[in-house]
Amino acid sequence: MNLQRKLEILADAAKYDASCASSGTERRDSRDGKGLGSTAPGMGICHSYAPDGRCISLLKILLTNACNYDCLYCVNRATSNVPRARFTVDEVVQLTLDFYRRNYIEGLFLSSGIIRSADYTMEQVVGVARKLREQHHFRGYIHLKTIPEADDVLITEAGKYADRLSINIELPEQESLAKLAPEKDVRAIRRTMGRLRLKLEEAKENTKSKNAPRFAPAGQSTQMIVGADSASDRTILNTSANLYGSYNLKRVYYSAFSPIPDASRALPPSAPPLVREHRLYQADWLMRFYGFEASEIVEKAEGMLPLEIDPKLAWALRHPDRFPLDVNRASREELLRVPGFGVKAVDRIIATRRVTSIRVSDLARLHIPRNKALPFIVLSDHRPSPHLLDSARLAERFRPKATQLGFGFE
Ligand code: SF4
């Protein structure tokens, strides 16, 4: 099989993995004439978005899509009829260098199906990173998928070469994983996440020493598939909160389940609405940067995030007792809960109100969407009507207008 065909198969097989946005790594470049590549923003091939909104490009491939495991939700499972391919270590190294030199990519995201054994597969994955770094002095971004059952020595070596390591938790509940991916061992996944956490903390403590071993400076992440099982958004967010707290993950990525050919009957016949994935990302953001608990974001009774409005607005509409909030006096924590107020806007508010009272005319300069925020806030020249917050009309005002479906022609 020629390289072009392998690339078609193995890039297509990798597209289901969402956990590859790069962020928070150290800055490296080769302007000193040594090495190749950099982690600076560039242009390229497969676009991912970092948490700061920066668009980055990675060569995103599998080493092989052959796999011993038979995870029902996966297109690469052992019983799938897809064409199989496998790169050699040297082929991946050469492709990465060629794509980098042509300015198509600024890094590599490498994952793999499990062949022979966890250690054998991990050794191949690490081999690519080792060769790129040591033989070719590649200084671009490297994200390696980690195989939980692999030997600790290999995981340590992976962290030496990679910027980020990830292990996919796959499903939010252990029972679903046992049903849909019986060969996966949730205890091994969590144990390895715990080992990564310890190594990351150790590396952080040693950063002052020049000779301290390097370990994945961009941290660890994971991915959860949404809609392959019946788990509610509340369950998903509780699992994420637990993962962030227990393993100090940089990111949990949410990937809406895509129906696959010849799928098992244990899987739903259709994909969940994509907006569900989007709302989960928004809710995740609220937990990490806005001080919300998972239990506050999704009401226990429903268990699901509303699809038509964002989760912060939904929370505010459920808590009229917390509003209107006086922007000139409220604490930072309170301000972060106002619909339309982002973290940067809150910082700008706090800096501005030290010198002057904030008025309606200041909102545009503070990058605050006026229509969204005004019903919830008091400013020195604005107070919303007391009836507004009690009324269902406020919720109605934010719901998207129903539109009639078109006929597809003008
Ligand atoms: S181990 Fe990974 S590649 Fe293999 S079937 Fe499961 S999800 Fe797919």
Q: Where are the beta strands (DSSP E) in 118-180?
A: 141-145, 164-166
74 lines ligand 1 (CB under 6 A): yes
Ranking 28-32, 251-255, 318-322 by mean pLDDT, the lowest is 28-32
Ranking 80-89, 91-100, 282-291, 386-395 by mean pLDDT, the lowest is 386-395
**What's the first-to-final CA gap in the chain, in angstroms?**
48
14 lines ligand 1 (CB under 6 A): no
* Burial category of 248 from C-beta neighbours within 10 Å (exposed 0-12, middle 13-18, buried 19 and up): middle
Q: In the prediction, which pLDDT does 23 show?
A: 44
Task: Supply the DSSP symbol for 269.
Answer: S
How far does residue 120's CA lie from ligand 1's centre (Å)? 15
145 lines ligand 1 (CB under 6 A): no
76 lines ligand 1 (CB under 6 A): yes
Exposure string for 123-148, b = 16+ CB within 10 A, e = fewer = bbbbbbbbbbbeebebbbbbbbbbbb
pLDDT (tens digit, 9 = 90+) per residue, 75-92?
999 999 999 999 999 999
In this model, does residue 40 exceed pLDDT 50?
Answer: no
CB atoms within 10 A of CB 298: 25
Structural contact between residues 74 and 113, judged by C-beta atoms closer than 8 angstroms: no
Residues 6+ away with beta carbon under 8 Å from 59: 11, 44, 45, 46, 95, 96, 99, 104, 105, 107, 108, 109
pLDDT (tens digit, 9 = 90+) per residue, 89-140?
999 999 999 999 998 888 999 999 999 999 999 999 999 999 999 999 999 9
Q: Give 410's pLDDT tier (boundaries 50, 70, 90).
A: very low
Structural contact between residues 33 and 236, judged by C-beta atoms closer than 8 angstroms: no
Q: Give 51's pLDDT tier (boundaries 50, 70, 90).
A: very low
pTM for this model (two decimals): 0.85
113 lines ligand 1 (CB under 6 A): yes
Q: How far is CA 281 from CA 19, 69, 228, 252, 390, in A?
A: 12, 29, 17, 9, 29
Q: Give 404's pLDDT tier (boundaries 50, 70, 90).
A: low
CA angle 346, 348, 354 (to 5 degrees): 105
Q: Look at residue 301 and give its three-state secondary structure.
A: coil
Q: Give 386's pLDDT tier (boundaries 50, 70, 90).
A: confident
363 lines ligand 1 (CB under 6 A): no
Q: Look at residue 217 and give its three-state secondary structure.
A: coil
How far does residue 278's CA lie from ligand 1's centre (Å)? 24
Structural contact between residues 58 and 106, judged by C-beta atoms closer than 8 angstroms: yes
Percent of the chain with pLDDT over 90: 71
Mean pLDDT of 37-55: 50
Cα separation of 319 and 160, whole Å?
Answer: 48
pLDDT top residue among 12 and 23 = 12
Please list the residues that pair with 102 across neighbouring strands. Answer: none
In this model, does residue 210 exceed pLDDT 80?
Answer: no
In CATH terms, 3-221 corresponds, of 3.40.50, 2.60.40, 1.10.30, 3.20.20, to 3.20.20
Mean pLDDT of 51-62: 74
Please list the residues that pair with 108 across neighbouring strands. Answer: 59, 142
Domain ranges of the chain: 3-221, 311-398
Mean pLDDT of 163-184: 93
How far does residue 148's CA lie from ligand 1's centre (Å)? 12
Structural contact between residues 307 and 275, judged by C-beta atoms closer than 8 angstroms: yes
Q: What tokens appear for 232 in the block?
A: 């509610």
Structural contact between residues 148 and 115, judged by C-beta atoms closer than 8 angstroms: no
pLDDT top residue among 261 and 33 = 261
How far does residue 76's CA lie from ligand 1's centre (Å)? 6
Q: In the prediction, which pLDDT does 262 show?
A: 81
Q: In the prediction, which pLDDT does 62 show?
A: 95
pLDDT top residue among 38 and 292 = 292
